[in-house]
Every structure is written in C-alpha cells, then in structure tokens.
Structure 1
C-alpha cells in the first residue's frame, strides 16, 4: 500500500491561503490545506533542494525556476497589453518620491529604466488607467521596496493621492528568460502528461512560488481520478516543479511531461465521500452565498425601478419562489440598463449590417478576397485553391499549434429547431463526426471549444459530448454556455419613458435572446477570454450551426493572421449574414470587454401582472413590448481601422 508523500519542512511551516484557480469548467473546487517548507529565502533564485518522504525513502531534486507572475491587464485607452509590476505603498520624503512594493522578478528593468509606465486606480468604482513617465528609481536601502520619481509629480500631496495604485508596464517589454525558466502565467492551463505512457494527468491550475522552489497545482483529469479510485471529481494535487519530476516543458504545444515518484499523485486525494457534517456545512455556505447574490440582484433591479418583479416571492410554493429567485439572479442588470438606453436613443442612426458589408466588399483592398466554396475543404489542393493556398496553409498551421479556439453557436429561433433529425443538435453531431468539414481527430486535443446554446439544450449537449467521448476534444477545454437573454419590457402611455419588465407568470420573467451579439457578452461575463488567453490562444473562430452543409473555414483564420487584422468575416455572394462565420483576435476581444450595441424591436407578448392583489393575464392585439437585439457585426466599428477587417467572399 502506498502512503501519501509529505513535504518535509526544515523550518516553520507556511500555510497557503485560499487562491483563485484556473478552472475552465467553473466548478466548485475543494481541497485541504497543504504545508510547505521554505528552504531558502524568497529573493534567492539559486538552485535549491526539495525533499519528499514516501514509500521509497527520501530523495532530493534540483528546483526549476519560474518568474514571479505579472498579472496581465489590457488598457482600453492605450490598447496595450500591460502587466502589473507592483503597487504604490507610501510617500518617501518631501520631493514627490513614492515607494513601491515589487510584484516582479525584474525590479531593475521595471523600476530603474526611465520611460512610459501606467497607473491603475479605482475611481467611482471603475478602474482608471493613466500613463505616467518614470524619471528614475532606486532600491530602498532598508526595505524590500523601491523609490520612484515620476515626471510632473514634485509635491508630497500629489503623490499621496497615488498611494494604493498599481503600477503597470508593457507586457511586450518583458525580458527573455534563461533555459529552464518560465513565466508563471505561461504555465497556467498547460496539459500535464506522464512521460512514460503519455497518459493525461490533468491541467495546471496555478503556480506557487515558495521562495526556494515552485509548486504546480494540477487539476486532475477524470481518467486519473478513476485510476486512483476517487469518488470525487475536480481533484487537485501538488507537483514540485523540479527537473527530476518535470523534465520536459513544451511551451509551443502547451504540454509538460512528468516522471512523478511513487505515491506523489496520491497527495491530498481523498477517496471517501464527504461526511454528513461536511455536507451540511457546504450546503449552508452555498445558501448564504445564494442569499447574498439574490440581495445584490434585487438591489440592482430596484435601482432600475423594477420592484414589481419581486411580487411573486410573497406567494406560491417554495419551488415557485425558488424559480423566481433563479430568474432574478439570471438578469444581467448592467446589460439591461444599456439595452434600456437604446430605447431612449431610438432616434440614433442604427447600424445596417448589409450596407456595411457591401461597403467592405466594394473596397479595393488586399484585405478583401473571393474564394470558391470548394476550396474550403481540408484536402483542397494548391492547384484548386490557387493564390490563396498560403492562407489555407497558415490557418491549418495555427490550428495544429493550438492557437485557435472555436465557438459554436446554436439557436432555435426563426425557422431552425434544435431537436429532431433535421435540428441543429443533430447537425452538430454530424459536423463533429466529419473530419473533412470540421477538424482532424489529432487536431482537436489542442483546440478549446465553446458551445453557446439556449438554456434548455445545455444538458442534452453535455450528454451528447459525454456519450461520444467529447468527439476527441479535451473535456477540460470544453465550455457549454447559455445564450444571452434579456427581459422583455413595455411602457405605458402615461409614462412612455418608464419601462417595466414583463412577467411570463408570477414566478417567471419573460425573456428573449439578444442574438449573435450576445455571444461576445457571454464570453466576457464567464471569463472565457481570459481563460483562452492563459491557454495561449490567439484567435477565436465563431461559427453558427445550421443545417446547410458547409465547412469550418481554416483559410479565414490564416487570412486574418497573414494580414495582421483584428476581425475576419466570411460572407456569401448574396450578402447573407445569417450563417455566422467570423474570426476575432484575443487581443481585440479583451479590449472589447463584451461591449455590444442594442436595438429595441417591438413585438406582441402576452404577460401577467398584479392588479389589486390579483394576478391578471394580458393578451395584446398589437405590438406592446420591446425585445432587445444585438448583432455581432455591430462590433466592426470598434476596430482600430477598417484595414483591420478582413472580408472573405465565398462564391459558389
């Protein structure tokens, strides 16, 4: 019987506090406290030793080195990718100098080299990033901090206003590391495999710098949990980041191979179920968390003058009141407020998709190209494709290198239906089974997949993927997201500027999908863009699922990459934009932050309302309410220039 390895402490144990983990499936993770030794000081980067005690006795390993993680921040003003390098902790002297606590392994580069920097501060609840010029910096003689001087700040009262701000620097300015050294954030999301067998162990969820050594916190794959006899899911284990245990790290393939000592992977794993007491504690904590979220959601709706939504909480059975609470929690108040503003701005000229695409098609630019549909196949020859063959090759290369993620969008609105032999779910299975029209089997493991669909189809989609072994995709890199919806609203003749959320029943809010633009909002609200970035993804391909036969367009992403564009669009000769096929760079999506535009569409909707303490059904005979729509093509205006938009016109 193997006994779990324990980390040997040669000094006072250090207990790690709770941390934010990279968790693609947004599942609740539970793991016990783990104690680590600190054999050398935190500032030392020289090789040190890490001791393990296990069934095989004691052994020592040379520790790998990683750089302190510098959190990535995107500036909407400068459109630069920035990293946090420290925070301003206090003033120094009377000449406008200020102290900074470093959060970087390169303080000389970040603090002594004059030039542009950025300060991030919280003002009125919003992050504000301002550019500053660093004049000089020097180490503090008595503390582990630096003293900085910024141009134009010569008074102690001026710099005192900056205390607590975060200093940012350009991410591209980070130095090259020596062999065997890695940036912590580059390791996040990496696949961990056994070198001997190639079996997937899991995914790197976090990296801990313990001063003398680094530790990987790895989220185990379900296959490893089964092998270890664990009845629990989402198990995490610690793996020392040392040469003897992690001999190979492939940044390009986003993989690392490990040779763990006997018993290492059993550390912190519990095969037994939670005790009754533990279950009660977890349930109580979950209820308290739910109550806090509900209070916050109700407060936001009150600010929007929608108190009538809460009427159903005073009536009905517990399950009905719980249903209404879920509906209240599901309302994206920020998005709703923006959508309501679109009604007030109804006189504003609306974005015309057809006009804009026709204008792009008519331009004489190297960013517009015509391609025959038969050239989109995976096996299309150079002779058939012609001058555009280099785009196809580049697209295939980006997919094989794991630089592209796919977002499949399903809907049952209009003429399409999700269920049935001719429905979108059936077509999705057909598409995923077809390597000629989708992706080769050996490409899928390194391609993250997002599926956006109506809420009622999520469970069926999960089952479909589980029954088909995720069609070759890594289960940790597959997300199922509910499409963005917003409440339907109406106004009264007496108060035309006041809009009221309609109720489908006393315990259900009447909602409608916002359309293709909601895909970008969903990705932002679930943090998918950041997760993809941590996986090394550069491009997101958005593809709508419909019953007409066509391919995943690899050439489009190659076209966008070759032209250095931010967006790529595929359209047909007939200007049909219903069948969505677009490419976005991750940098553009991070800058966009889910920002979308809305249009209010008048529709007829039956609803219920409370009149003199009685629920009354209202059945209209003419359009009585506004449903909000957002078109994904509306973000074209957010591009830095029209030259950053690639258009691929597909001919028959």
Structure 2
C-alpha cells in the first residue's frame, strides 16, 4: 500500500507482512475501508541507536481491530513510555505474535515476563493499555521475536493486536556506560561532524599502524585490542596511533651502544681539535651570566654586544628541554608521588630560569626571544598553566610553544629473539621512554616550528637543557657563532663532565637542512632491567627479570655534529 503525504513532499511506503494462509478461512484479511483511520503522528524520531533505528512515517495507517474499549490516555501520557518494537504479524495458531524490535536490549525486553504496554489508534486517538508478557523467544529466520501475551491465545485475538507498538516505561531504561546515550535524549541537541571525522581518521591511522607493525615484526602489541573493556582498548589504540613508527624503525636500524650520551662530542672534538682551536673562545666561569654590552671583561664586549643586538631585534629563539636526562631515566620506575615531586622541581627550576630575564637583559618591554619548550607528555598542561599564572615572565605569549617530547617503545634485548620486541607494561600499555636530546630536531621538523620561526624573522636557535648552567639567549655565544660564520655553537664546561647538560646554538639555515636528513641521526641503546607482561599459553604473565632485559632507544643532540663540517662549528669553553 502506498500513501503520499498531504504536503506532496514525500512518498511514504507502508508495508506489513501478509498474513499466512490458514487451514480455515480467516475472519478478515483487512478491515473494511470505512474502519481505517489516517492520522498524523508525532514528528519522526529515532528510538534506539543509529545502528538499530525505527523511523515513524508522518502518517500512520491503523485498523481498529480491538473488540473492546481499552483505557484511553491523552497524548501527554505517551511521553512516559518508549517504544521497543511493534507487532508485525501473527505466528502459528496459539495466539503468538511476531515482533520487529526497535531496541538494543531485545533479550531483556522480550525474554523476561512482566508488564508491557500496547499502543494503537482508536478513533484517531492513541490508546495505551497494559498487557502481561508471558514468554518470548528469538525467531530463527528474520530478525524478529515471537511473543505470547496473557489472554491472547487464539489467532483471532492475535490479529487484533497486529500493528500495535510495544512500550515500556521510560524510567525502566537500563543504565548506559559513560559516553553512550539514548537517541531520544539527543533530540534538540546540535550535531557536529568533528568527532565522527576524528573517529574515521583514528580508524584509518590504526589500520596503517597495524600494517606497519606487522611489517616490522611487532604485531604482538595488537593482542590487547581483542580483549579488555572499552577504555582499555581505547588506551592501546591511542598509543598505537600516536607512536612514531618511522622514527622507531629508524632507531632500530641505527643503534649502537656507547657508555655515555656525550660520546659524540668527545669523538668530534678529538677528531677535529686542530680546526676547532682557532674557533674556541675561553672565558672564566665568573663572567658566564654577563648579558649587557657594557661589560668589558676578556675583550668580549663586541661579541656580547653583537649577540645582544640579535636578541633585542627578535632574531633569536630558544628551545628548552623541560626534563633533564636524570629524570627521564628514573621515570619508568617512579610512582605518582615521585612524579609530582619531579614536576614541582621542574617548575621551580623553570621559575629560576625565567625570573631574572628582564633584570639581566635590562629589557623594559616584552622579552623578544621566541621560546619553544619540550615537555614530558604528562606535564604539558602543568607548564602551560604555570606560565599563565606568572604572566609568561615578560615573554610574548604569541611566541611561546609547548610541545610534547618524543617517546619510543622500550624493547627487549633477548638473545633468543631475532628482532628486538616492544615490551608491554600491561596488555593495553606500551612501555616507553623519552628519546633524549636528539629528538629535538625531529620535534621541530614534525611541528613545522622551523617554518614558523623563519616567518617571524628568527636567524639563530638556542637549544639547551633546563639547568642552572643554561641562560636563555646567551649573548656571548650568539656573538661568537656570528663572528665565526658558523652553523653550530657549543658551550662546554671544563670543570665537570655532566652527560645530561647541553647548550648549543644553531643557525636556522642549518636546522632547515637537518630537517631533510633526519634518517642520518644516530641512536644508541641504554640497557636496563624492567618488568613487563608477556602472553604465554593465552595468559598474560608478569615477568620480573633478574638481569638486564631491555633497551631504551636514545639519541643525543651531539649526533648532529656528524652532519656539520668542522669549519662550521665553534665552541665557548667555560673555565674554572
């Protein structure tokens, strides 16, 4: 049967399964035409989630099949109920009916006996009456259910309720998990496609990551996606999709095993000592933090003045690593209290680092240096709030970036395995560690920071660890690298050997070239002893090693010296 709406805008098709043939002539197949009521119903709405939806047409055809007058309720009472299905046909000869469900909980709604309500139309008005469900079972064929109601035990009585909607009270809806909603509750809300697009992108990235992990022999970390609850699977999905697999694969192919992080600097200095001799400036430690151009110590005033001019003209940017290597090494074993202490200590050190900028430089307005901070993932918001609370310490907030440092998975060092395998903290958590100072170059290229710095007129970029020895935009080193026409300037101390300290200046042109040579950076492995989980005979087992069992993949900032000609490197040597 077809019926067009009165407005002529839609053609609505109404169909119901034809009644089966019986061994005796049925009382009727359709009611007489003068007993058919055409009445507008409520505006279309979804009754369940979008994967299981029933859309009511603007007009409904209902036959008055009831032989008795049920209780009639007003339309307002209808809001107390929700529809869970409708009676589509009779089934057999004993009063059973076939029901098309419109609920995500058919087992609970149709198998459990108890009170239900039927809604039909009488003289153009909605009729709701209470019935007792006695039994229900899923139909083996089409997606429907076979139900029995008390007092309906013949074919004729079953036919009278065909076309009726089955209802339950709204307050009888089962609770949902966080993030799940009943569709009627969303009516009237604004719809944004951003989340849907984000989920689509996540699925695409997950598929690409799965293929990549399989190609490099690391598919074992995907096993957690087939078990666990929704939050656990989402946690693993986010870690997999956010993993820098290109950098990870490069690290696996280029690891060596030096004893200390700054071995690259020692190798470079020893191999090029003669060339570096004429480009090394030595100063006493007492003049380390002299910024102003009026200072005449050691004949370095012109270099300081030139460097200071670069700073006040806004041609210098500073990249600050907010976590030194010592904290990074211990983070895998820290508990939450120790992490909070570490965060607090870093904030105090950052406070000391930035507090005296105006006092040291004598700059009255906003300090013109652009600042990029590389922060541990769990501390990004902490440092952002910290800067806001202190009004950015006189920095131009439009030239401040806080980026999340790169992390790579921790891998096994088992001689029994042909390849280094990623270790898991839990079935849904990858054991990972920061890459180290060498990841600064990847971070700058990944976030297009170099391009942004070029647009605002930056010529030199300082990269340093958060240390009392570091000074933001140190003028003497800037003036020295400019005078030597070098691409890399290195500040070193002669009194101590701190493998976690670094303070270097790069020309922006060198950083641009370096961004195209990231596959040339060298990695090394730090051996350690770390607990992890492993799947054995379909069970997850916690492994507590008795000896070193893993590698942290690290990269040193000094590995970039392999890509720079020695005559393009200068040094500032701090004595005493």
The interval holding the TM-score normalised by the smaller chain is 0.5 to 0.7
- Superposition map of 1:67-216 within 5 A: none
Find the aligned partners of 1:440 and 1:309 in 2 and give their Cα distance. 54
Contact 1:297–1:329 (CA<8 Å) still a contact in 2? yes
Partner of 2:123 in structure 1?
Answer: none
Q: What are the within-5 Å matches in structure 2 for residues 562-573 of structure 1?
A: 562-573=483-494
The equivalent of 2:537 in structure 1 is 612
For the pair 1:561 / 2:485, whether they are aligned, the reply is no
1:451 matched to 2:373? The reply is yes
Q: Deviations over 1:441-494 (max 9, x none)?
A: 546453221001211111100101111222222323211111221111115444
Q: What is the CA–CA distance in structure 2 between the aligned matches of 1:356 and 1:365, rounded to whole Å?
A: 13
CA contact (8 A) 2:522 2:559 kept: yes
Task: Find out whether 1:414 has 2:322 as its counterpart.
Answer: no
**How many Å separate the matches in 1 of 2:367 and 2:523?**
36
Local SS of the residue matching 1:466:
helix
User: Is the counterpart of residue 645 in structure 1 residue 569 in structure 2?
Assistant: yes
Aligned twin of 2:308: 396
Offset from partner CA, 1:604-640 (integer Å, 9 cap, x none): 111001112211111111111111111101111101x
1:289 alignment partner in structure 2 = 201
8 Å CA contact retained: 2:218, 2:421: yes
User: Structure 1: where are the runs of 5+ without partners?
Assistant: 1-274
1:439 and 1:331 map into 2 onto residues whose CA distance is 41
Name the SS for the 2:192 alignment partner: helix
Deviation at 1:440, TM superposition (A): 5.1
Query: Could you tell me how far apart the structure 2 residues matched to 1:579 and 1:418 are?
Result: 21
1:332 matches 2:244 = yes
Count how many residue pairs are aligned between Structure 1 and Structure 2: 374
Quick one: higher RCO (CA 8 Å, sep 6+), 1 or 2? 2
Which structure 2 residue ranges, 5 or more long, are not aligned? 1-186, 329-337
**Is the 2:324–2:466 contact (alpha carbons within 8 Å) kept by the matching residues of 1?**
no
Paired residue for 1:599? 524
Indicate if the aligned counterparts of 2:292 and 2:308 stay in contact, CA closer than 8 A: no
**1:546 Cα deviation (Å)?**
2.5
1:395-544 mapped onto 2 (5 Å cutoff): 395-411=307-323, 413-414=325-326, 420=341, 423-435=345-357, 441-442=363-364, 444=366, 446-495=368-417, 497-544=418-465
Deviation string, structure 1 residues 252-297 (Cα, Å, up to 9, x no partner): xxxxxxxxxxxxxxxxxxxxxxx97655322212221222222222
Cα 1:620–1:435 shift into 2, 3 Å = same
Residue 583 (1) aligns with residue 489 (2): no
Larger gyration radius, structure 1 or structure 2: 2
SS of corresponding position for 1:446: coil
- Relative distance call for 1:297 and 1:446 in structure 2 (3 A) is farther
Change (3 A) 1:335 1:611: same
Match of 2:335 in 1: none
- Contact kept in structure 2, 1:438 and 1:552, CA below 8 Å: no
TM-score, with structure 2 as normaliser: 0.60
Report if aligned partners of 2:311, 2:473 keep a CA contact under 8 Å in 1.
no
| 1:375-422 C-alpha deviation (Å, 9 max, x unpaired) | 343455655423221111111111111111011112154269875497
- Structure-to-structure mapping, 1:14-25, within 5 angstroms: none
1:321-400 equivalence runs, <5 A: 321-343=233-255, 352-357=264-269, 365-380=277-292, 382=294, 384-400=296-312
Q: Which stretch shows the higher mean deviation, 327-336 or 286-295?
A: 286-295
Cα 1:511/1:373, change in 2 over 3 Å = same
Higher relative helix content: 2
Give the whole-Å Cα distance in 2 for the aligned partners of 1:290 and 1:463. 29
Whole-angstrom distance in 1 between the partners of 2:316 and 2:246: 30
Instruction: Decide whether aligned partners of structure 1 residues 438 and 288 sit closer, same or farther in structure 2, where only a CA change above 3 A counts.
Output: farther
SS at match of 2:300: helix
